[in-house]
């Protein structure tokens, strides 16, 4: 009976240690995800005009609304991307998911973001999470299976490269951060995809973007 007690204690201790390690790993993965979302926001933060678009008299009120909006957006983006795990893997399915998430962003309380800014946040976050997956920093997502369907994160640098290398020009002549028409945005993404299919690059849009972005940083 004494040996059974010892075996029970050992097994129970090992089980507790395993559960604690799994909890620590899960918490670490969630931190990676959130950090990627926040970093992606930082990539276009300078273009966001809270003061101009939110009707606030007091500075404290403006800050409260900004914090409230960003916290909602963080959770919406995290939850939205996790939802890709349960979808059909196809271009139509991904595009439908992307549109729905964009519209959900626009419906957030105190939203001040344009279609252009929202696409940058979604697409850069997907790009970051894809890298985290590749380096096994997060293990409960499967963005890699969508690699060929991901959209290019559009900003000034990428726009210039697309015009220079692919001779594709956006329908909307306003700066990317002021784009307001999702249909025009999606047409632009489809034009890029079709051009790449027939080009010398033979890459998916996001793989091509990785390449030209890295070149621009040299």
pLDDT tens, position by position, for the chain (218 residues)?
A: 555 545 444 454 444 444 555 567 789 999 999 999 999 999 999 999 988 888 776 778 888 989 999 999 999 999 999 999 999 999 999 999 999 999 999 999 999 999 999 999 999 999 999 999 999 889 889 899 999 999 999 999 999 999 999 999 988 889 999 999 999 999 999 999 999 988 877 689 999 999 988 877 66
Cα angle value 91/94/97 (rounded, 5°):
150
pTM: 0.88
Question: Which pLDDT score is estimated for 199?
Answer: 80
């Amino acid at each position: 009976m004494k040996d059974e007690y010892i075996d029970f204690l050992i097994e129970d201790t090992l089980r507790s240690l395993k559960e604690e390690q799994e909890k620590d790993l899960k918490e670490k993965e969630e931190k990676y995800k959130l950090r990627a979302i926040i970093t992606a926001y930082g990539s276009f933060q300078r273009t966001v005009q809270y003061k101009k678009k939110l009707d606030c008299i007091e500075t404290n009120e403006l800050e409260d609304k900004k914090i409230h909006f960003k916290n909602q957006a963080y959770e919406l983006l995290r939850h939205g991307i996790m939802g890709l795990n349960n979808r059909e893997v196809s271009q139509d399915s991904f595009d439908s998911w992307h549109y729905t998430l964009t519209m959900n962003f626009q419906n957030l309380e105190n939203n001040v973001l344009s279609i252009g800014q929202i696409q940058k946040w979604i697409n850069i976050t997907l790009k970051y999470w894809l890298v985290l997956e590749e380096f096994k920093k997060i293990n409960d997502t499967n963005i890699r299976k969508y690699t060929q369907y991901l959209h290019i994160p559009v900003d000034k640098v990428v726009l210039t490269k697309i015009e220079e290398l692919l001779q594709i020009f956006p329908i909307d002549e306003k700066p990317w951060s002021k784009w307001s028409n999702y249909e025009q945005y999606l047409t632009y993404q489809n034009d890029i995809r079709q051009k790449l299919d027939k080009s010398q690059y033979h890459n998916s849009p996001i793989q091509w973007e990785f390449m030209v972005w890295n070149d621009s940083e040299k």
